Amino acid sequence: MTVFKIGVVTGSIRQGRLCPKIVQYIVKLIESNTWQKDFALYTIDLKEWDLPLSTESTIPAMIKRSDDYEHECTRNWSKEIYNYDAFIFVTPQYNWGYPAALKNALDYLYNEWANKPAMIVSYGSHGGSKCNSQLEQVLTGLGMVVSRSNPEIPFPTRKQILEGVPENFNFDDIAGIRNHILLSTEELISNL
């Protein structure tokens, strides 16, 4: 039986980011359920990749093989993304959009993303709906098959930002979020 590989992309790279906490919750939640298809989740940490702003001269959509890119970092990034069958993008909302590091990581490539299922989990004080829909548009532009229902986690709230996020914060306490992530994952998997 095929074991699909799903990459979980961390949208934030800033010092002190909350993104890994949310990725950890999502991965644990998905892994603790049973699914109709066999798959494994892998975190793709943009902070570890530390990609510079892309300066490739050829439009990525024109490139069919990883080795045809100019720069070594692009060739490595291309091979990494070719590896996966689907993606979960976990992104904070920054000034009503999603982080520049995530846009840069996406714009590096094209065919590596195209035709693959994608799901978005956004977060922010009101769930990050604006960055969620902006990212949905961009992923659609990349030819990805984006889930129709993408969870928005209202975290961190303004109060949490002012007073500090509790160390042992339980995302299950946010009404409906657990079910929404599971339903969206089901849709993602059905598109594999």
Ligand X SMILES: Cc1cc2nc3c(=O)[nH]c(=O)nc-3n(C[C@H](O)[C@H](O)[C@H](O)COP(=O)(O)O)c2cc1C
Shortest Å distance, C-beta 122 to ligand X: 9
124 touches ligand X by CB under 6 A: yes
17 binds ligand X per the rule CB under 6 A: yes
Query: Does 134 contact ligand X by CB under 6 A?
Result: no
Q: Does 19 bind ligand X (CB under 6 A)?
A: yes
Q: Which CB sits closer to ligand X, 76 or 125? A: 125
Is residue 122 near ligand X by the rule CB under 6 A?
no
Report how far residue 133's alpha carbon sits from residue 139's, in angstroms, rounded to the nearest whole number.
10
For residues 18 and 192, which CB has a smaller minimum distance to ligand X in the complex?
A: 18
Name the residues that contact ligand X, by CB under 6 A: 12, 14, 17-19, 92-96, 124-126, 156
